[in-house]
Amino acid sequence: MQKLTSQSEWIARAQAVLPAGGFGNFDPDIIIARGEGSRVWDEDGQEYIDYLIGSGPMLLGHGHPEVIEAVLEQLPKGMTFFANNAKGIALAEAIVEAVPCCEQVRFVASGGEADMYAIRLARAYTGRTKILKFEGGYHGMSAEAQMSLAPATRVNFPQAVPDSAGIPQSVADQMLIAPYNDLAAVEALLAEHDDIAAIIAEPLQRIIAPEPGYLQGLRDLCDRYHVLLIFDEIVTGFRLAYGGAQERYGVTPDICTLGKIIGGGFPLAALGASAEIMRHFDKSVVGADKWLMQLGTLSGNPVAAAAGLKTMEVLRRDGSYDRLRAIGRTLQDMQTSALSDAGIAHQICGDETLFDIVFTQSPCRDYRSARHDDPQRNALYNRVLRANGVFKSPGKLYPSLAVTNDDLDQTKAAVLAAVQAISAG
């Protein structure tokens, strides 16, 4: 086979064999060749500071030597077994020790799979069918999760809007949609519907921070109405703090989902809860009618578990989260300073460990308010950042522990160039 060295050749080849020319995840006009530390390189050799970091899992950066060593130690011993293995058991122990709501966990291969099972588990435990989710909340690709994830048109709450073809109306009928950061709306729905099994929420919804008392308010409402609270911590787990959003905000859900960081860059996710709730995975305990079947070819595979264990070990070291937050604050400050000096209206939305710029004068408190007043301004901003060697999502910036002072200096120069481009436009 002819060796292709040009990015344009790879793009053309992708267009022939991949729908829309990509994997469905990110801009298909860039083909990443390799990553090392805080940097990635495309197939043309262009170098970037990586603030996408695989959409979150590479919190230590690419190719962390200790993680590589742990993986290489495991590889000759076996890559997957479809059976219990010591690395997977040790990872489960580490998660249970770290995450407040977890007495037991079940492994799956992806975050979307974990969220799907969490919803199913809540229904099995409560015997109820309806799920309350928040407009704009991302919980994977299941039919339930694809309700009102990114609705293009506004409808009245609690109507659910499917974001994908192929989803029957019967799924929408079992979903209730509420605005984030609005406890009154949640309480009204709980008071009206007595068949709600659970509320599923990202504690930090994409980049929208919970208002003070909001998560505790959800916890209190769930207790009052005997509804389960699910925290989707696929992104926030082991990022906002070692114990995730539960530790950061001091609110413990009934069920949580975890992913990204616990696999150290390999496919692995989990859901966890109390032993009482998790017993629905044990047919011998709950019986056939209440048993939740769950299996997966790569669930708990030892390579991913080894990578996750080592990643978590590094994160436990003194100063890891202080440093991550310091990097995030520096990135926030350089952007808001440059934009403010130029008189450009904006909001910093999110947490120091995960955030972005929203070009608006309004506070970002829910899906409908966390929008750019001028989307073209955001597109220009991100386009100039990339042209100056900054690689990020159009809607998120993930700091990592691999970011250096030189990276921050280069990022600041890119930010100034992007702000100048906006001002000139």
Q: How many domains does the chain have?
A: 2
Are 69 and 137 members of one domain? yes
pLDDT tens, the chain, 425 aa long: 455 579 999 999 999 999 999 999 999 999 999 999 999 999 999 999 999 999 999 999 999 999 999 999 999 999 999 999 999 999 999 999 999 999 999 999 999 999 999 999 999 999 999 999 999 999 999 999 999 999 988 999 999 999 999 999 999 999 999 999 999 999 999 999 999 999 999 999 999 999 999 999 999 999 999 999 999 999 999 999 999 999 999 999 999 999 999 999 999 999 999 999 999 999 999 999 999 999 999 999 999 999 999 999 999 999 999 999 999 999 999 999 999 999 999 999 999 999 999 999 999 999 999 999 999 999 999 999 999 999 999 999 999 999 999 999 999 999 999 999 999 97
| Angstrom distance (rounded) from CA 310 to CA 53 | 18
Q: How far is it, in rounded angstroms, from Cα 76 to Cα 87?
A: 14
Catalytically active residues are 138, 232, 260
Whole-angstrom distance, CA of residue 134 vs CA of residue 117 = 18
Q: Which letter does DSSP use for residue 210 in this model?
A: P
Residue pointed to by tokens 């050749």: 9
- CATH classification of the domain holding 249: 3.40.640.10
- For residue 368, the tally of other CB atoms under 10 A from its CB is 14
Q: Where are the beta strands (DSSP E) in 102-212?
A: 104-108, 130-134, 175-178, 196-201
How crowded is residue 190: how many other Cβ atoms within 10 Å of its Cβ? Answer: 20
Predicted pLDDT at 228: 98
Q: How many helices (H) and strands (E) does the chain have?
A: 14, 13
The residue from 280, 315, 350 where one domain ends is 315
Whether residue 268 sits in one domain with residue 134: yes
358/397 Cα distance (integer angstroms): 12
**Cβ–Cβ contacts within 10 Å for residue 66, how many?**
13
* Pair 267, 376 in one domain: no
Are 158 and 176 in contact, with CB atoms under 8 Å apart?
Answer: yes
Enclosing domain of residue 71: 65-315
> Same domain, yes or no, for 47 and 164?
no
What's the pLDDT score for residue 259? 97
- 18 belongs to a structural domain: no
Amino acid at residue number 326: A
DSSP assigned state of 391: E
pLDDT at 100: 98
Q: 206-216 in b/e burial notation, b at 16+ Cβ within 10 A?
A: bbbbbeeebbe
- How confident is the model at residue 85, as a pLDDT? 98
Per DSSP, 50 falls in state E
